[in-house]
Every structure is written in C-alpha cells, then in structure tokens.
Structure 1
Amino acid sequence: MSKLTTAFALLGAVLAFVVPMTAVVWVMAVPQRLGLLIYPEQVAAFMLGASLAAVYGRDMAGKGPLVATIDAVLSLASLVLGIYVYLRFPVLSEGAFYHPTESSILGVVVSVLVLEGLRRVVGWTLVVITLAMFLYALFGDLVPGPLRGRGLPFGDVMMFVGTDSSATWGAALQIAAFVVVVFVLFGGLLLAIGGGEFFTQLAMRVAGSGPGNTAKIAIVASGLFGSISGSAVSNVMSTGVLTIPMMKRSGFRPEQAGAIEAVASTGGQLAPPVMGAAAFLMAEILQIPYREILLAALFPALIYYLSLYAQIDFIARREGFGAANWLERDTLAAVFTKGWPTLVAFLVLIGLIFFRNAEAEVAAIWALLVLVVIALAAWAFGRGGPQLSPREIVAAIARAGGQTCDILLITAAAGMIIGLLSTTGLGFQLSFFLIGFGGQNLFGLLLITAVVGIVLGLGLPTTGVYLLLASMAAPALVQLGIPPLAAHMFVFYYGMLSMITPPIALAAFAAASIAEAPQLKTGIQAFRFGWVAYLLPFLFIYKPGLLMAGPWWENLYVFASSLVALILVAGGMIGHGLTPLGLAQRLLFVLIGLLIIAPLRQFGPPLLEFGVSAGGIALLVLHGIAARGATARPSSQPQTDAPGATGR
C-alpha cells in the first residue's frame, strides 16, 4: 500500500468518526448553547463534504497511481467544498444573485462531486434520474404535451443547486444528517456491545422447538436485528451467516434458506423502533412526531412477520422438517443476563419517545450514551459483561460513520431532484396528471404507483425511491382524499419491496451468496415468501385501521381480520396448514381470505364484512380442531406406528 493510499485511508477513517459526532453535537444544540449562530444547512454541507471525501478516499487501495491520484484530488476537493459552503452559505443563500459567478461555479462543483460519488456508491440509476432532471430544467420548453415546461438558463440552474435551501442542502439532506446518522450510530454501538448475539439468543428462545424452528429463528432474529439496522442487505450479511447454514442443515433447500433470510431481513425496514432512513424522512415531510410513524408501522410489521412465520410452519409440516434439537440455546435468564444493556437501551429510547415526548434523534443520543456508560464501566472495573474500551468505542463510531456516507450522498441527490421538480413546476404537473387519472380509477393509480415504486427500486435504495415517490405520487394520492400517512406508507412499502423482487433483488442476492444458491432461484423464492408485503399497502388505503387511524376497537378488528385472512391465503397457496389441505379446502381458504381483506363495506352493509371475517375465524378454528384430532388418533392406536401399518 502506497503512502498516498495509507494517508487517505487514515483521512477517511477520521472523517467517518467526525461525521456522526458532528450530528451528535448539532442535535444536542451545543452551538446554540454557546451562543453561535449557525444555519443547519452549513452543518449538513460540512457533513456531506466529509462524507464525499471519505467515499473517494476509501477505495484507493489496489488502483494505479493515476487513478489513485484522481481519487485523492476528488477527496480533497470534497472536503474543501464542505468547509467552503459552511463558511460562505450565510452570504450566498441571501445574496446569490449578487455573486452569480461564484454561485454558479459552486453549483457545478457540487453536482459533479455528488453525482460521481453517487455513481460509486449505488450505481448509475439515480445518477441518470438526476441528470434527466437537470436536462428538463434546461430544456423543458422542448418537451411536447402536458409535461411541457420552461427552459432555465444554465447559470440559474447551477446557482439554485449550489445555494438554495430547497435543493441540495434542503430537508432531505438535513434529516439524513441529523436524524438518520444518529440512529445508525445508535445501532452500531448496540451491535458492538453485543446486541446481535442478544437478538439471536432471544430468537432461539422465542422460536421454540416446533417444526422448522431454524427458519423461525431466522425470522425473529432478523426482525429484531433489522429493527435497529434499517438496512436489508446489511441485515442479511450480519444474521444470515448464522441462520442460513442452520436452515440448510435442518432440511431447507439452499434457495429457500436464502429467500427466508432475505424476506425476514427486508422486513426490518418496517419494524419499529428504528425502521429505516425513509421512516425519519416521512416524519419530517409529514411534519408529525416520529412516534406516530412507529405506531402506524406496528400492526403492518406484526402481520408481515406473523404471516411469514405461519408460512414457514406450514411448509415445514408439509415437507416433514422436524425441530432442530441440536441447537445450543441459553436459558431465558442467561439471555437477559448477558443482553440486559441492549434491553435497557431500547427502554430508554422508547420511554423518551412515547412518555417524555422527546424528539427521536434526542432519545437515540441518550440511549447511546447509556450504552457507552455501561460499556466503559464494565471495561474500567474489569467485570464481565459487555465491555468496550475507549479505542473500541471510537472504532464502532467510525464504522457507523462509514455506513452513513452513502445515505448522505443519496439524500443530497434526492434534494437536487426535489428542488428541480419544484422550481420547474414538473412536480405539480405530474401530480395534476395523476389526479386526473386517479379521479376516474383510484385502484389503477395505486397499481401504477406500486409498479413505479418497484421499478425504481430495482436500481435505487429504499430511501431514494421513497423521496422520489413522496414528491411525485404521494401528493396526488392525498389530493384524492387518501390520508397523508396512508399515502406515504403506501409508497414507502413499495420502495422497499425491490429488495426481494426479481430480477434485481439485492437482499435475496446477498442471501444467495451465503446460501451458495442460484441468485435467480433465490429471488423467485423470496418473491413467493414475501407476497404478503405486496398486499399490505393496499390495506393501508382501504382499511386505514391497520395504521391505527380509527377507534381502538376498529384498529384491533382490522389487525385481527387481516392476519386471519393472510394466514388463510398462505395455507391455501402452500396446500398445507396444520394438516394437508385438499383442492377444495385450498380454494376455500384462498377465497375466504381474499374476501376478508377486500373492501366489502364499499359494496354492502358492514354486517357483510363482519360475517365473512367471522366465517374465516370459524374456518381456522375448525381446521385446528380437525388437526388436533388427526394428531391425537395415532397416539391412541400405537400399533399404526409399526412399519407398513400406515399403508405407506
């Protein structure tokens, strides 16, 4: 490794530490307490510049001298950019037209550095979309039809991108810098102190010893782990190395094991209390407390995981997979004895958000401070448990900072797109067009939005997809009378589903590499296991009680009936519940399940919907009674256990 590469690797590590610590300082209002007048755009710009510098400097190893030199120049230019905007933003934001040349050059530099960094981080898709928006801003007057715009001078466009608070340095970047970064830091420290092992051991106890319990462990562990990581791929790579081999050993095919892990890990973006970056963006865009997002996401996340759990149980019974009794599991007391710091941190986080009405990012900082105190105390006094030395804490902070660099680049580009949509009027024109279409066919508009979300997600992370759809499609849904939270949850879910949708199912492909399974087969299996998530967003629209948007009894009814429906559909599709299902039973299960989740109140009296739901519950109860009788009969006639007695 050359001296240049070593120097920039060190610089990248230092900046990766500085970025999250800057967020902590800002969220705790340290500058304000010192009497300093600093704009949030200044701090966000510095954090973006530092992140860009880290991105350009971290991949220099193994490159030739010329390419490494170019990366070094880009890294230094990015750091200078962050410092420059920090110093000059107060002047340029208020008087950009008095400094047109400086403002335009700044816009060009920002655009080039962000887009090239973005290309290295997530590929070409978001870069192409951003460039298309730039072209529309410059040549919108040449676009035919209802989307015709007005062409803006090149200098004005660059000035807007480089200095305006509604573009690069706007809300998207600020939310990522001051909220998402803090939660990524919290998750990083939680894992460093042993949170991952705690989740895995707890999952082993919760999953029990029933059929297919290794896959059930994967579901529970990935759900718990994903609730703090908020990233499907990183979740797969963290928990999958343990759960996928366990599933394969217990009888699941490699592609099945990989798919189960991918679907379970993807659901972590939906599971409170952390969810993913898009959830924090949603709270800020809707201007509602983050706890309302958590409450709205609770029932859908439970249905997602319980339905997946039921599918695994049915498949395990169908295929004859027994319990993996060879697993070494700690007692429940031992699990909590070792993992109590993780539990304490969660209680602090939830308690401050729900009972002290603290902002989510402030609550996260207090929770991570609790973790740091516990780890340092254990290290200082040398008593077992979760020990972390000061060096290890610094390393954990730097690792978390490295993970946030990608998010800051994505949200900076999304800020450019959102700003250009606004200043060119294209966002209004798109919403007007969609409203006209949806006024005639709301379901058709929802279907188009879902497809667009999945297609965009084939090349973009969930955060980028959500921001684009929140700017273009969600306003049209709201204008048609859909509650804002339901509209945004709809696009949020469909932005996430690309992780398990072939042909580019990133979470499934990551799991396939661990399972040593064909990528396409694993993606198809993930699509089949995750079918529940494709239906849930439509329930947000037609049954808002699922998002706790009604009286408590209505919310509980919608949750229970939806869960019953999806279990019935799962059993019918798999062909097995607690016992095998014949063709007529399968069709009945699927039909009743689909009728329960259908918006029957729009076609008849409420009694019709309640009656169908009661019928679905009765069907499950009768199936359970029949299954219990079927398992009891062989035990009362032991002679049937003899070889050949069963007629096989």
Structure 2
Amino acid sequence: MALNPVKPAFEALVSAFSFLVPVTAVVWVLSVPQRMGFLIYPEQVAAFMLGAALFVVFARDMSEKRPARQLLDSALAIASIGLGIYVYFRFPVLTEDVYQYPTEGLILGILVTILVLEGLRRVVGWTLVVITFLMLLYALYGDYVPGPLRGRGMEFGDVMRFVGTDSGGTWGPALQIAAFVVVIFVLFGGLLLAIGGGEFFTQAAMRVAGRGPGNTAKVAVVASGLFGSISGSAVSNVMSTGVMTIPMMKRSGFKPAQAGAIEAVASTGGQLAPPVMGAAAFLMAELLQMPYRSILLAAIIPAIIYYLSVYAQIDFIARRDKHGAADWLDREPMLSVLSKGWLPLIAIVVLIGSIFTWNKRAEVAAIWSIAVLVIVSGSLWLAGRGRPKLSPREIAANVTKTGGQICDILLICAAAGMIIGLLSATGLGFSLSFFLIGFGGKSLFGLLVITGLVGIVLGLGLPTTGVYLLLASMAAPALVQLGIEPLSAHMFVFYYGMLSMITPPIALAAFAAASISGAPQLQTGMQALRFGWVAYLLPFLFVYKPGLLMEGHWYEIAYVFVSSLTALLLVCGGMVGHALTPLRWPVRALWIVTGLLIIAPLRQIGPAYLEFSVSGLGLAILAIYFVQTRTVAEAARGEKVATASDT
C-alpha cells in the first residue's frame, strides 16, 4: 500500500508552526524587528501567530482522520496560514484605508470569522461560538432590539471589514496579550517542569506539610498551589499532580470524593496564586493599564486566605476522622530538596526579582528566567554532568509543546477581541453598562450577585480567560461607574470566572479529579464546592473591604487580613464540626454565624464599631477555645504522667 505523503508533511508542518509560535513571541517581546530597523505593527505579528495556531488546530492528528475529513482540514489549515501571512503583509494598508478596498476587506472578514469560529468550536466547544455569533447578529440587527439595549444596526460588509481589519477587533489587545505575554509564561512553565520543577514543588510541599494529621492532603494543597501558580490551568494541574496526590490521600484514609475535591480546589487556586497566576491576570493588567506587579500584590492575601481555608478544613477533618500522619511519605531532607531543585528556585527568584526589583515588564522578566533555564541546563548538558540538564533537542521539544498548548488561548482571545470590539462599535457596551448602573443604583449587592452568577454560568462552557474577558467588557465598567475601584471590580469578575471549575453541575477540575479518584463526579463536585466555600465570598470582600487587595493604609490591610483569618477558622470549624476537639451543635452554630458576620460588610449598613465588635467577638471565641483546649490537654498530659509515676 502506497504511503500518503500528505500526512507526514502536515505532521512536520504542525511541529514547525508549533515551534514558531513561541519563538515569534520571544522575538517580538525582545524588540528584535525594531532593533533591526523594521517598522511592524503588533497586529501583524499577532495575526501571523493566530494563523499558525489555526493551522495547528486543523492539521494536527491528520493521520487519524478519514480521507474526506483530511481533505477538509487540509484546506482549512492552508487557508489559516495563508490568512496569517496575508494579514501580516496587508494589515498596514487595510487598517489605514479599508474603504478603498471594500471587497478585499469583506472577503478577509468573512474568512477570519469562519476560520476562528470553526477552530474555536474544535478546541472549546459551542458556547463561545454561539456567544460570538449572537454578537455578530446584534451588530447586524441591533436596531430591532427593543428597550434599553437597542443598538445601531450595521451593514454586513461593515461588520466583516471591522472584524478583519480593525485594530479594535480580532487583532486587538486581547489577542496581543495572549500572543506576547501568555505564550511566554506558558513556555516558562513548560521549561520549569522539564528541568524538575514538578518534583521540586512536590518535595518542598512534603517538607512544608510536616507530619501532622492529614499530611498527605496538605501535601496535595501545597504542591498543587505551587504547581498551579506556574501552569495557570486547573484541569492540567489536576491531571499532573493528582495522579500522585489523590492515591496518597486515599491511602491515608480520606474518602475518594474528598481526595478528588481537595485536589480540584487546590489546583483551581493556582490560577489566582502569584507569581504567575492564569492568563486572565495578564489580560487584567492590560485592561486596567496597570503594571503586572500590582496585580500580583493584590492577589497575595486572597490566595493566602483561599489556601489556608482548604488547609484548615483538612486539618479539622483529619482530627475528626482520626487520620494519622502518613509516616510512609518519602520526605527528603530540605538540603537535598534544595540541592536538586536549585535551578527552578533560581528561575523563580529571577522572575520575581525582575518584576519587583528591576521593574521589568512581566513578559521580559519571564524571558530572563527562560534564559537562565536554557543557558544553565544547556551548559550542564554540554559538560555531560550535573543536573538538571536539557539537550537542545529537549529544549526544542518543549518549545514545540508550548506552541501546541497555547493554540486554545489564542483562539479564545481572538473571538473575545471580536466580541469586545463589536460591543464598542455597536454601542451595546455603553447600553449594557447604563442598564446595569441603573440596576446597581437600586441594589449594588444584587448586581454583584447577578454578575457572580453570570460568571459561573458562562464558566460552565468557557475557560476562565474567556469568562473574564466577557465580564470585564460587560459588567466591570458598570461596577466601576457605581464607585467600585477598578481593581476590585476586575478581581471580582476574575474570581467568579474561575469558580465554575469547582461548581456543579459541570465542575471541570472536580470531574477531572474524579476520574483519578474513582468517586462519583457529582459527589466530588459537591465536596469541592464545600472545600472551596471561601472563594465564593472573597470577591465580595474585594468590593466592601478593599484592604484585602492591599489597597489603603497598612493598618486597614492588617485588620482585614486578621479578621478574615478569624472568620475562616470559625466557619471551617463550624462546618466540619471539629477543630482541635469536637464541637457541639450550639457551638458550631455560634462559630458559623460569627464567622459569616465578620465577613459581612457590616460597616456598610451600620456604625463602624459594630463590625469591629463582631470581629473582636470572633477573635475572643477562638482565643478562649484554644486556651481551654490547651489547658485540658495539659491537664490530661499531667494526669498520664502521674499515673505512670504511680505505676
């Protein structure tokens, strides 16, 4: 049987374009074309990268497709890279005066729309495709919509020319951030793991978790938090670390649903944990026109509270169910961990130092860290000794893998660019903000609840990046107009875009964990909802207590932090029914009610001393409890010593 030469050719091209996408991003971020004297628009480079990503989406796995499907996908793949190259060369002309070339702009817009929507359907399903299509229909027939959301209808040709040639549309800021920032950080994360970052995180987590009750689950929380802060993807985090941590938790006594839920919640939190966070964090920095380090600083306290909440619940459950410490964990000495993980540690230090000390842009700081990884590991490979080391072939393979992984985000951001651009061009963005402002004027809390629910519903079919971009365009402006700080508004929608990962009925991270633990999916999702309860309340604190985002005086920040920790311990203990000792129902109810009242924005509905009094009451309840518990424990210990002496 004759070999089909098309299949290997496409496989080679898929690898080539996958490799080219991150390389192009690095070249652009380092301003190589500008240093060589070339005048190139960022939209041109982003368009080429999108064309390459579309080629990869349509052409990968070509050998597994039927002949008719191969023919269709070959045509789509060739059209995609042709589109990228064509826009690269023609964009400067068309963006300046597209109406001199109306037919060309029309055809280009139609081709962009078809290829992006079909590629999007293949990588993330129908949800965002339907939303984009509805936005296109609104652009055409918005003048027929009754009520306050009525827009101005546009001609079909004008809509297509806007989509295909305008800097505020497909090729705009959303796609550019994905192409020039997110790609760089995905590459950094891939190389970090390739040189042993995952093993380093796991061993470091084992040292941090110690040998106390439930230490296997605590290892999962710390390891998934560390890993997730680099990967930025909840599902991939679950599949990477969960294969090790979930069996460990089950072996130490945790129920399968609990083990899966703990891993899902810990992995989801990686999207909000510095230093890398998820792709949405970079988009937030761009939309707010803020340095990325400001986003990182704002995310620190919420991330600490999120993970401490999960950690506290694990400790209380382990004490309640009498899960002893897993002494069989293979914990290496800290010096051994550091001696093996010194390169990942140095790379992270370079990243953080570049952002905070040398005030470098986030993507430039990531390239510096990538350079450290490549130079040091490559030098060790050339020397033939030491670890960790990567050969040039392994480095190229990781770059290629990054290009394949980033395709989804590039397509999502291209579609989001269409939607955001059309929101502005049709006036729907203004109308929607005006409508929400009117609603919020009656009930800001009601508007926040609705915004949060919309974020969770959208997240049932969209990744966090897509949800954030939509809500940042539609809801965040209204929240800002109502007096909420822009950072608080954007962090609010960012969190609720993430929560769909652990919210049934489609909790993707929880369901991924269930596939490893063997527990029922819905049961795992409900357990994840319980473990991640604090994440549903934190966004409201961003609005009512902005000190949580490090906004305000130091004493305000310290007060919010301490009171939030007090509240989470009270609620966690009350929910579990156990802290250091069992809690009876009246005490549980007192703990839960007091904790929730501390979180509630009492200062908004009453005098300031009411909030401070409730916080003081909560702190006193905990202090009295821990003092009494320690006194009883010491008395019991003394009684045992006396009994042993008598014996």
Which deviates more, 262-271 or 140-149?
A: 140-149
Aligned residue-pair number: 642
Name the aligned partner's letter for residue 28 of structure 2.
Answer: W
Asked if the contact 1:277/1:463 (under 8 Å) is kept, the reply is yes
Partner residue of 1:46?
48
Find out whether 1:626 has 2:603 as its counterpart.
Answer: no
In structure 2, how many angstroms separate the alpha carbons of the residues matched to 1:602 and 1:74?
56
Pairwise CA distance, 1:552: 1.1
Give deviations 1:379-430, integer Å, cap 9, x for gaps: 1112221010000000011111111111000000000000111111111111
What amino acid maps onto 2:409 in structure 1? I
* Residue 251 (structure 1) aligned to one of 250, 253, 259: 253
Distance 2:482 2:163 in 1: 32
1:228 is matched with which residue: 225, 230, 236? Answer: 230
The letter for the 2-side match of 1:166 is G
CA distance in 1, matches of 2:609, 2:506: 44
| Residue 153 (structure 2) aligns with | 151
Letter in 2 for 1:88: R
- Give the distance between the partners of 2:61 and 2:285, measured in 1 at CA: 34
Instruction: Give 1:563's match in structure 2, choosing from 562, 565, 572.
Output: 565
Match of 1:589 in 2: 591
Moved more, 58-67 or 162-171: 58-67
Superposition pairs of residues 113-262 of structure 1, within 5 angstroms:
113-262=115-264
Instruction: Determine the structure 1 residue equivalent to 2:541.
Output: 539
Amino acid corresponding to residue 231 of structure 1 in structure 2: S
The amino acid that maps onto 1:177 is A
Q: 1:244 is matched by which residue type in structure 2? A: I
Which position in structure 2 is the counterpart of 1:368? 370
Structure 1 distance, partners of 2:578, 2:207, is 26
1:80 pairs with 2:82: yes
Matched residue type, 2:212:
G
> 1:437·1:445 contact (CA, 8 Å) conserved in 2?
yes
Give the letter for the 2:333 counterpart. T
The one-character-per-residue Cα deviations of 1:175-224 (angstroms, maximum 9, x if unpaired) are 11011111111111101111000000000000001111000000000000
Amino acid across the alignment from 1:452: V
CA–CA distance in 2 between the matches of 1:603 and 1:421?
36
Out of 574, 585, 591, the position equivalent to 2:576 is 574
* Counterpart contact for 1:222–1:264, Cα < 8 Å: yes
1:513 to 504, 512, 515: 515
Q: What's the CA shift for 1:262? A: 0.3
* Greater shift in the superposed pair: 574-583 or 621-630: 621-630
Partner of 1:385: 387
1:151: Cα distance to partner?
1.9
Q: CA deviation at 1:485?
A: 0.2
Between the aligned residues of both structures, percent identity stands at 71
Cα distance in structure 2, aligned partners of 1:29 and 1:473? 35
1:440-519 aligned at under 5 Å gives the runs: 440-519=442-521
- Segments of 5+ residues of structure 1 without an aligned counterpart are 643-648
- Partners of 1:321 and 1:631 in 2: how far apart? 19
What are the equivalent positions in structure 2 for 1:397-416 lying under 5 Å apart? 397-416=399-418
Partner of residue 350 from structure 1, selected from 346, 349, 352: 352
Cα deviation, residue 13, structure 1: 1.3
Check whether the contact 1:634–1:640 (CA below 8 A) recurs between aligned residues: no
Instruction: Report the more deviating stretch, 593-602 or 418-427.
Output: 593-602
1:645 corresponds to:
none
Offset of 1:606 from its aligned partner?
Answer: 2.8
**How many angstroms apart in 2 are the aligned matches of 1:4 and 1:524?**
48
- Cα deviation for residue 61 of structure 1 reads 3.5
Map 1:275-286 to 2 at 5 A: 275-286=277-288
User: 2:310 corresponds to which residue?
Assistant: 308
Q: Which amino acid aligns with 1:614?
A: G
The alpha carbon displacement at 1:3 in A equals: 3.6
Summarize deviations over 1:5-54 as a string: whole Å, max 9, x none.
Answer: 33222211111110001000000000000010000000000000000001
- Secondary structure of residue in 2 paired with 1:177: helix
Partner amino acid for 2:482? L
Task: Provide the rounded CA distance (Å) in 1 between the counterparts of 2:413 and 2:237.
Answer: 21
Q: CA separation of 1:621/1:3 partners in 2, compared to 1, >3 Å: closer, same or farther? A: farther
Q: What is the DSSP-based 3-state SS (H/G/I as helix, E as strand, rest coil) of the residue aligned with 1:61?
A: helix
Cα offset for 1:68? 1.3
> In structure 2, what is the Cα distance between the partners aligned to 1:517 and 1:457?
23
Following TM superposition, by how much is the alpha carbon of 1:600 offset from its aligned partner in structure 2, in angstroms?
Answer: 2.1
Offset at residue 638 of structure 1 (A)? 4.3
Letter in 1 for 2:360: A
Partner of 1:64: 66
Structure 2 counterpart of 1:567, one-letter code: L
Q: Is the 8 A contact 1:222 1:235 kept in 2?
A: yes
Would the aligned equivalents of 1:212 and 1:316 in 2 still touch at CA under 8 Å?
A: yes
1:290 is aligned, of 292, 296, 301, to: 292
Shift of 1:567: 1.4
- Superposition TM-score, scaled by structure 2 size: 0.98
Residues 423, 606 of structure 1: alpha-carbon distance in 2 compared, 3 angstrom cutoff: same
CA distance in 2, matches of 1:378, 1:517: 44
Instruction: State which drifts further: 50-59 or 488-497.
Output: 50-59
How many angstroms does 1:60 deviate by? 2.3
Secondary structure of the residue aligned to 2:442 is: coil
Superposition deviation, residue 641 in structure 1? 11
In structure 2, list runs of 5 or more residues that go unmatched. none
Q: Is 1:211–1:323's contact at 8 Å kept on the other side of the alignment?
A: yes
Contact kept? 1:162, 1:168, Cα under 8 Å: yes
| TM-fit CA distance, 1:634 | 4.2
Alpha-carbon distance change, 628 to 506 in structure 1, aligned in 2, over 3 angstroms: same
Deviations 1:570-592 (A, max 9, x none): 11111111110011110111121
Q: Which amino acid aligns with 1:165?
A: S
